[in-house]
């Protein structure tokens, strides 16, 4: 690709075009280390115009490309294509506009999730809060439709993106949506969010932010068993309460997290349930007592209420450390991201338990209990022959159990390369073909992040027949629409 | 079938619906989908279609999973009937657009038209409440996307694409929706002020930025200027009193009441019978200008979101153009309008060219034959 390399150097200068194999290894994986691929070239544009020129150069050379944000994705979405170009967006990190009056922020894609909330503090905040929010980029959040601990009440990234500037794979720059809502036309913003980098690059993102809640009240309740914690969640939701966060950790994840951060969780607890209420102070105060008594009624052995921000942080510290802390208990682990209807929680947890025993591997569970998003962590040791394979099989069976219960293969981490083989469990051939139609409308040549999301490679045919013009359009009247 | 007559089909299964669509499309016919028939003339005026596929027999509530706050319903279920069924278990679909004559508006029709009401303030629009969708495409494919759980990112979000597409991509057959608990207790603060819309607009903006978490927050210019904020929850009254205090401080006459009647009034003022209605996609900062638009006979603004519905009793092309000039550059769409106005005015306003050509690509991939409601959409799609 000598021509493409020199073209990219013309666009970005020598320093921002990486071709040395050793240097390229920085980018060989995203947050899911099981997959590795070294791209031919990595390029670090400075602004949207450079992105446009890079994508155009790739188009001219017929070379596929992958956009990469912070590389914290957990499904291999930013895994490079070996023969392709990796477009690293971390230098596009300007906050372009903070418009509090209209409750909008306009940012470049490389801005971190937390930086958005900081930009609108202290009066407002950006609700989607993935645990990775210190590092992950808004571009990545948009591509994955990321969630976080507070989605049960606040929703996901898709509920907060109002406008996008896109660079399509043919080099066209298209603005969709805006600061306004219900902008005339198809909801292409809605279609793009969650498309995992396969429809183009988002180079400018307009987000809705909301007033920071007046009050926040947090507690953690400890139970002997996850089923009691699960029942408490059902009762809270059944009482018509909508907490900001409802998180459950099981025995194994408590043990791991406690060993790492010493948040004061009892080591013999079978489950911890974090409940955070936020909103108008009067409302929080009224509901908080109900939550405490629901926990007690379900057999909570202890309820710890955060009296100040420091105590709240301590409660959350254990939860936020849960993934990383697994490293203390197990040399390797697989994070799954299945979703189930929350009411099926007890039976699915039992099933996971049984599977875990059959496969002689431990499974820790940390989950967003309000919306039934499980994060089973399958522990294994890659050095023990046969364990990685058993772990993979077990992870697959857990996903299948979620789908069987009426749920989903992924709640927030995306399909990427890791879960594309599970797609046929959720979607039939006609469904997948319909997905492909969208893909072809945006990127008929298939250059944007190929090999992700769809279980098998597909090409785009020509559109059968010419676009059928409406008579008004033919008459030139459509110019005015 | 005589030339010029419309054939109406009312399938009772998804397969029948898909087959009817495929056949019509294969024989080069133009097809329109019909729900409750309350918004059939939205969009560009087009000749009557040759085939109409009605959802009147696709009207089952398939599942209400109260414990999971989800429901699966067929497109032809009238919203009113769905809400009544959900209310029996203390839940609702947080969608309250104008219900149409005889409460006929169906879930599928509301989604296809992208219509919404005052609850938009806290729950988002129809796009934000749909978890999964089953559609029929013009080649007879039945395609599902999304799922039935409240959190799911597997596959593309085609439900968003179909929501607001006015039947131009295919036929919505079934949707899975997210539900919310019906508030046990609500209270509404209402502030009124004659004349200059300034005070009403300022109060509404102030309330939009206070952490009071209103359930609904509208500003309106009806017979008088009015701002109304509804609160839900155990402390609803307390919060409404607080909001009324904010209104009084700004010189408005304020009361706190149950307010259901006021909300019903605002909902219907969004679409007064016989009026021309323009929906403006504006910004919060524009609220005062929206409320003060010259020639608006009734104006309802979702204060925090920048959306406004401006009704004109004597609808004319000039009226639309002058409102557009006044609120420029905010995009706006003509919803209801007499046919003769609709034929002369630009229904969708200006839409930038690259976006329209991307929309055309989407249309030609999903409906290559151009059978689905051709001509009604943006850019003549
Ligand atoms: C410890 C840890 C905790 C996590 N917790 C959560 C959590 O709570 N909730 C959650 O949802 N996720 C979580 N994640 C996953 C991850 O952080 C999110 O998916 C995040 O949004 C990825 O952002 P990124 O910038 O790292 O994207 P990357 O990993 O770089 O890329 C992800 C995908 O986005 C595409 N992409 C990136 N930028 C753009 C762009 N500008 N335009 C188009 N496509 C683009 C890439 O091609 C790729 O497909 C966690 C990850 C880790 C490591």
Return the half-sphere exposure (C-beta side, CA atoms, 13 A cut-off) of residue B212.
31
Long-range contacts of B68-71 (CB under 8 A, 24+ apart): B68/A341, B68/A342, B68/A343, B68/A372, B68/B149, B68/B150, B69/A237, B69/B150, B69/B178, B69/B179, B69/B180, B69/B181, B70/A341, B70/B131, B70/B148, B70/B149, B70/B150, B70/B176, B70/B177, B70/B178, B70/B179, B71/B176, B71/B177, B71/B179
Mean pLDDT of A278-289: 93
Neighbouring C-beta atoms of residue A385, cutoff 10 Å: 8
- For chain B, positions 12-41, list CB contacts with chain A under 8 A: none
Contacts of A386 (CB under 8 A, 6+ apart): none
Return the domain boundaries, chain A.
Answer: 2-88, 95-211, 215-324, 330-423, 429-474
Q: Supply the pLDDT for residue B183.
A: 92
> Is residue B62 within 8 angstroms of chain A, CB to CB?
no
In the predicted structure, residue A467 carries a pLDDT above the cut 90: no
Mutate to test the pocket of ligand 1, among A114, A136, A253 (most ligand atoms within 8 A of CB): A136
C-alpha distances out from residue A191 to A97, B343, B380, B381, Å:
24, 31, 21, 18
Cβ of A339 within 8 Å of Cβ of B360? The answer is: no
Q: How far apart are alpha carbons B57 and B148 in whole angstroms?
A: 22
Q: How far apart are alpha carbons B67 and A120 in whole angstroms?
A: 36
Q: Supply the pLDDT for residue A322.
A: 87
Q: How far apart are alpha carbons A55 and A4 in whole angstroms?
A: 11
Q: How far apart are alpha carbons A110 and A116 in whole angstroms?
A: 11
Q: The domain at A215-324 falls in which architecture?
A: 2-Layer Sandwich (3.30)
Q: Which of A313-317, A470-474, B169-173 has the lowest mean pLDDT?
A: A470-474
Q: Supply the pLDDT for residue A182.
A: 97
Q: Supply the pLDDT for residue A326.
A: 87
Closest approach of chain B CAs to the CA of A339, in angstroms?
7
- For chain B, positions 122-141, list CB contacts with chain A under 8 A: 124-125, 127-128, 135, 137, 141
The DSSP 8-state label assigned to residue B68 in this structure reads G
Q: Is the dihedral of CA B43, B44, B45, B50 positive or negative?
A: negative
CA dihedral A340, A344, A345, A351 (to 10 degrees): -90
Cβ of A155 within 8 Å of Cβ of B128? The answer is: yes
Query: Residue A465, by phi and psi: left (phi above 0), alpha (psi -120 to 50) or beta?
Result: left
Q: Supply the pLDDT for residue A480.
A: 37
Contacts of A407 in chain B (CB under 8 A): 147, 149, 152
Give percent of chain A with pLDDT exceeding 70: 96
Most distant CA atoms of chain A, gap in Å: 77
Closest residue to A102, CB basis, from B212, B306, B380:
B306
Query: Are the C-beta atoms of A1 and A17 separated by less than 8 Å?
Result: no
pLDDT bucket at A471, cuts 50 / 70 / 90: low
Closest approach of chain B CAs to the CA of A262, in angstroms?
31
Closest approach of chain B CAs to the CA of A286, in angstroms?
6
Query: Are the C-beta atoms of B246 and B210 separated by less than 8 Å?
Result: yes
pLDDT digits (tens, 9 = 90+) for A206-258: 999 999 999 999 999 999 999 999 999 999 999 999 999 999 999 999 999 99
Q: Where are the beta strands (DSSP E) in A89-152?
A: 95-99, 104-107, 124-125
The torsion angles phi and psi of A88, rounded to 5 degrees, stand at -95, 120
Least Cα distance to B377 among B116, B172, B137, B113 occurs for B113
Q: How far apart are alpha carbons A312 and A67 in whole angstroms?
A: 36
C-alpha distances out from residue A303 to A272, B170, B197, Å:
10, 52, 51
Contacts of B142 in chain A (CB under 8 A): 430
Mean pLDDT of A12-28: 97
Q: Which of A164-173, A297-306, B349-358 has the lowest mean pLDDT?
A: B349-358
Closest residue to B154, CB basis, from A212, A406, A423:
A423
Query: Are the C-beta atoms of A38 and A375 separated by less than 8 Å?
Result: no
- For chain A, positions 247-286, list CB contacts with chain B under 8 A: 279-280, 282-283, 285-286
Counted across chains A and B, CB pairs separated by less than 8 A come out at 301
Closest approach of chain B CAs to the CA of A204, in angstroms?
15
Structure tokens at A403: 């789908």
Cβ of B238 within 8 Å of Cβ of A282? The answer is: yes
Among chain B residues, CA nearest to A421: B154
In the predicted structure, residue A300 carries a pLDDT above the cut 50: yes
- For chain A, positions 113-132, list CB contacts with chain B under 8 A: 123
Q: How far apart are alpha carbons B113 and B106 in whole angstroms?
A: 11
Cβ of B151 within 8 Å of Cβ of A368? The answer is: yes
Domain A330-423 has CATH 3.20.20.80: no
Mean pLDDT of chain A: 94
Cβ of A237 within 8 Å of Cβ of B361? The answer is: no
Nearest CA to ligand 1 atom 9: A130
B278's enclosing H/E stretch is strand B276-281
Cα angle vertex A278, ends A272, A284, to 5°? 95
Rg (CA), chain B: 21
CATH of A95-211, one of 3.30.465.10, 2.40.110.10, 3.90.1300.10, 3.40.50.2000: 3.30.465.10
Q: How far apart are alpha carbons A269 and B234 in whole angstroms?
A: 33
Contacts of A52 in chain B (CB under 8 A): none
Rg (CA), chain A: 23
Closest approach of chain A CAs to the CA of B122, in angstroms?
10
The DSSP 8-state label assigned to residue A229 in this structure reads H
pTM over 0.90: yes
Neighbouring C-beta atoms of residue A212, cutoff 10 Å: 15
Query: Are the C-beta atoms of A362 and A250 separated by less than 8 Å?
Result: no
Q: How far apart are alpha carbons B174 and B140 in whole angstroms?
A: 15
CA dihedral A71, A74, A80, A86 (to 10 degrees): -30
Structure tokens at A461: 């045919």
Q: The domain at A2-88 falls in which architecture?
A: 2-Layer Sandwich (3.30)
Q: How far apart are alpha carbons B231 and B236 in whole angstroms?
A: 5
Residue where the block lists tokens 């009238």: B78
- For chain B, positions 322-381, list CB contacts with chain A under 8 A: 330-331, 333, 346-349, 351-352, 354-356, 358-366, 368-370, 374-375, 377-381
Cβ of A435 within 8 Å of Cβ of B155? The answer is: yes
Contacts of A350 (CB under 8 A, 6+ apart): none
Give percent of chain A with pLDDT exceeding 90: 90
pLDDT digits (tens, 9 = 90+) for A71-108: 999 999 999 999 999 999 999 999 999 999 999 999 99
ipTM above 0.90, yes or no: yes
Structure tokens at B194: 């004659």
Structure tokens at B14: 């998804």
What b-and-e string marks burial along A319-337, b requiring 16 or more CB atoms within 10 Å of the CB?
Answer: bbbbbebbeebbebbbbbb
Cβ of B161 within 8 Å of Cβ of A412? The answer is: no
A161's enclosing H/E stretch is strand A161-167
Structure tokens at A335: 């994070």
Mean pLDDT of A412-430: 97
The number of the ligand 1 atom at minimal distance from the alpha carbon of A68 is 30
Q: Supply the pLDDT for residue B370.
A: 96
Contacts of B282 in chain A (CB under 8 A): 180
Strand order in the sheet with A173-177: A95-99, A104-107, A201-208, A161-167, A173-177
In the predicted structure, residue A469 carries a pLDDT above the cut 60: no
Q: Supply the pLDDT for residue A476.
A: 46
Least Cα distance to A195 among A232, A168, A225, A219 occurs for A168
Cβ of B355 within 8 Å of Cβ of A234? The answer is: no
Cβ of A240 within 8 Å of Cβ of B235? The answer is: no
What b-and-e string marks burial along A411-428, b requiring 16 or more CB atoms within 10 Å of the CB?
Answer: bbbbbbbbbbebbebbbe
In the predicted structure, residue A470 carries a pLDDT above the cut 70: no
Q: Do domains A95-211 and A330-423 have the same CATH topology?
A: no
381 residues of chain B, pLDDT tens digit each: 344 679 999 999 999 999 999 999 999 999 999 999 999 999 999 999 999 999 999 999 999 999 999 999 999 999 999 999 999 999 999 999 999 989 999 999 999 999 999 999 999 999 999 999 999 999 999 999 999 999 999 999 999 999 999 999 999 999 999 999 999 899 999 999 988 899 999 999 999 998 889 999 999 999 889 999 999 999 999 999 999 999 999 999 999 999 899 999 999 999 999 999 999 999 999 999 999 998 888 999 999 999 999 999 989 999 999 999 999 999 999 999 999 999 999 999 988 888 999 999 999 999 999 999 999 999 999
Q: Residues enclosing ligand 1, CB less than 6 A?
A: A 30-31, 66-74, 77-78, 89, 109, 130-132, 136-137, 139-141, 143-144, 146-148, 196-197, 201-202, 323, 412-413, 449
pLDDT bucket at A323, cuts 50 / 70 / 90: confident
C-alpha distances out from residue B329 to A194, A293, B108, Å:
29, 53, 31
Q: Is the dihedral of CA B90, B93, B96, B99 positive or negative?
A: negative
Among chain B residues, CA nearest to A425: B154
Is the omega angle on the peptide bond into residue A122 within 30 degrees of 0, that is, cis? Answer: yes
Which 3 state secondary structure label does DSSP give A376? strand
């Amino acid at each position: 690709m000598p021509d493409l390399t020199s073209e990219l150097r013309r666009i970005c200068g020598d320093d921002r075009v990486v071709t040395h194999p050793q240097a390229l290894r920085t980018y060989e994986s995203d947050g899911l280390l099981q997959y590795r691929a070294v791209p031919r070239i990595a390029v670090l544009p400075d602004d949207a115009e450079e992105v446009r020129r890079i994508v155009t150069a790739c188009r001219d050379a017929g070379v596929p490309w992958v956009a990469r944000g912070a590389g914290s994705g957990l499904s291999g979405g930013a895994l490079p294509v070996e023969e392709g170009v990796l477009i690293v967006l971390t230098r596009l990190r300007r906050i372009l506009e903070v418009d509090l009056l209209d409750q909008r922020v306009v940012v470049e894609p490389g801005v971190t999730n937390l930086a958005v909330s900081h930009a609108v503090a202290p009066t407002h905040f950006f609700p989607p809060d993935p645990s990775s929010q210190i590092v992950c980029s808004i571009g990545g959040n948009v591509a994955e439709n990321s969630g976080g601990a507070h989605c049960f009440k606040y929703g996901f990234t898709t509920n907060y993106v109002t406008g996008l500037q896109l660079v399509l794979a043919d080099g066209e720059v298209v603005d969709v949506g805006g600061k306004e809502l219900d902008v005339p036309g198809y909801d292409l913003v809605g279609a793009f969010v969650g498309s995992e980098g396969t429809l183009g690059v988002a180079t400018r993102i307009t987000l809705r932010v909301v007033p920071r809640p007046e009050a926040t009240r947090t507690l953690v309740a400890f139970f002997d068993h996850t089923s009691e914690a699960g029942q408490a969640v059902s009762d809270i939701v059944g009482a018509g309460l909508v907490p900001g966060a409802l998180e459950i950790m099981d025995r194994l994840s408590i043990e791991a997290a406690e060993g790492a951060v010493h948040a004061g969780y009892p080591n013999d607890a079978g489950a911890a349930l974090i409940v955070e209420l936020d909103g108008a102070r009067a409302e929080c105060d009224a509901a908080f007592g109900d939550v405490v008594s629901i926990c007690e009624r379900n057999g909570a052995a202890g309820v710890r209420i955060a009296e100040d921000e420091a105590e709240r942080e301590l409660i959350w510290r254990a939860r936020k450390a849960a993934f990383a802390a697994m490293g203390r208990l197990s040399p390797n682990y697989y994070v799954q991201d299945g979703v189930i209807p929350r009411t099926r929680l007890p039976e699915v947890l039992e099933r996971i338990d049984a599977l875990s025993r059959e496969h002689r591997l431990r499974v820790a569970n940390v989950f967003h209990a309000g919306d039934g998003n499980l994060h089973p962590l399958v522990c294994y040791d890659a050095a023990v022959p046969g364990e990685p394979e058993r772990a993979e099989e077990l992870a697959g069976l857990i996903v299948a159990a979620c789908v069987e219960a009426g749920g989903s293969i992924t709640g927030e981490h995306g399909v990427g390369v890791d879960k594309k083989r599970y797609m046929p469990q959720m979607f039939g051939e006609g469904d997948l073909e319909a997905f492909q139609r969208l893909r072809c409308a945006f990127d008929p040549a298939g250059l944007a992040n190929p090999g992700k999301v769809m279980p098998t490679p597909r090409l785009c045919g020509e559109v059968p027949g010419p676009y059928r013009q409406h008579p008004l359009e033919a008459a030139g009247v459509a110019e005015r629409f | 079938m005589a030339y010029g007559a419309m054939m109406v089909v009312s399938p009772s299964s998804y397969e029948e619906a898909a087959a009817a669509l495929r056949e019509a499309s294969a024989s080069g016919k133009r097809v329109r989908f019909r729900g409750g028939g309350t918004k059939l003339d939205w969009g560009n005026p087009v000749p009557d279609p040759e085939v109409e596929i009605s959802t009147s027999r696709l009207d089952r509530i398939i599942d209400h999973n109260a414990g999971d706050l989800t429901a699966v319903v067929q497109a032809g279920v009238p919203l009113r009937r769905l809400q009544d069924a959900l209310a029996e278990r203390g839940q609702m679909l947080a969608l309250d657009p104008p219900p149409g004559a005889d409460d006929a508006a169906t879930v599928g029709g509301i989604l296809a038209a992208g219509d919404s009401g005052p609850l938009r303030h806290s729950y988002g629009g129809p796009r934000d409440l749909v978890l999964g969708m089953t559609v029929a495409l013009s080649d007879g494919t039945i395609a599902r996307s999304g799922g039935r759980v409240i959190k799911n990112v597997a596959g593309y979000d085609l439900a968003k694409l179909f929501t607001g597409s006015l039947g131009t991509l295919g036929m919505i057959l079934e949707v899975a929706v997210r539900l919310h608990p019906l508030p046990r207790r609500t209270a509404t603060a209402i502030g009124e002020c004659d004349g200059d819309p300034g005070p009403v607009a300022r109060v509404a903006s102030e309330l939009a930025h206070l952490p009071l978490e209103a359930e609904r927050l509208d500003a309106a210019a009806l017979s008088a200027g009015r701002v109304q904020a509804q609160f839900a929850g155990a402390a609803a009254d307390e919060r409404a009193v607080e909001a009324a205090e904010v209104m009084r401080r700004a010189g408005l006459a304020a009361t706190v009441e149950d307010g259901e009647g006021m909300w019903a009034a605002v909902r219907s003022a969004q679409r007064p019978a016989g009026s021309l209605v323009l929906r403006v996609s504006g910004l919060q900062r524009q609220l005062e200008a929206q409320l003060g638009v010259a020639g608006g006979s009734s104006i309802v603004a979702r204060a925090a979101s920048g959306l406004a519905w401006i009704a004109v009793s004597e609808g004319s092309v000039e009226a639309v153009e002058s409102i557009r000039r006044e609120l420029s550059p905010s995009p706006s769409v003509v919803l209801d309008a007499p046919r003769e106005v609709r034929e002369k005015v630009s229904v969708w306003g200006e839409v930038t060219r690259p976006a329209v050509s991307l929309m055309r690509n989407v249309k030609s991939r999903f409906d290559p034959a151009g059978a689905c409601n051709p001509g009604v959409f943006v850019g003549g799609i």
